Amino acid sequence: MSDRFPGQQLAQISVQELAERLQENNTQSQLQLIDVREPDEIAIARIEGFTNLPLSDFANWSDSIHSRFDPDAETLVLCHHGIRSAQMCQWLISQGFTNVKNISGGIAAYSLRVDPNIPQY
Q: What are phi and psi of 54, to 5 degrees?
A: -60, 135
As a whole number of angstroms, the distance between CA 38 and CA 111 comes to 18
Please state the domain count of the chain.
1
Q: Does 90 fall in a domain?
A: yes
CATH number where 41 lies: 3.40.250.10
Residues of the chain with pLDDT > 90: what percent?
A: 86
Q: Is 89 one of the catalytic residues?
A: no
Low-confidence stretches of the chain (pLDDT < 70) are 1-8, 25-29
Q: What is the CA radius of gyration of the chain?
A: 13
Q: Does 25 fall in a domain?
A: yes
Which entry of 76, 77, 79, 103 is annotated as an active-site residue? 79
Its domain, for residue 71, covers 12-113
Give me the pLDDT at residue 29, please.
63
Q: Does 56 fall in a domain?
A: yes
For residues 76 and 32, is the Cβ–Cβ distance under 8 A? yes
Residue 87, SS3?
A: helix
Give me the pLDDT at residue 5, please.
46
Q: Residue 99, Cα to own-chain centre: how many angstroms?
A: 12
Q: What are phi and psi of 115, to 5 degrees?
A: -135, 95
As a whole number of angstroms, the distance between CA 91 and CA 62 comes to 10
For residues 99 and 36, is the Cβ–Cβ distance under 8 A? no
Q: Does 98 fall in a domain?
A: yes
pTM of the predicted model, to two decimals? 0.90
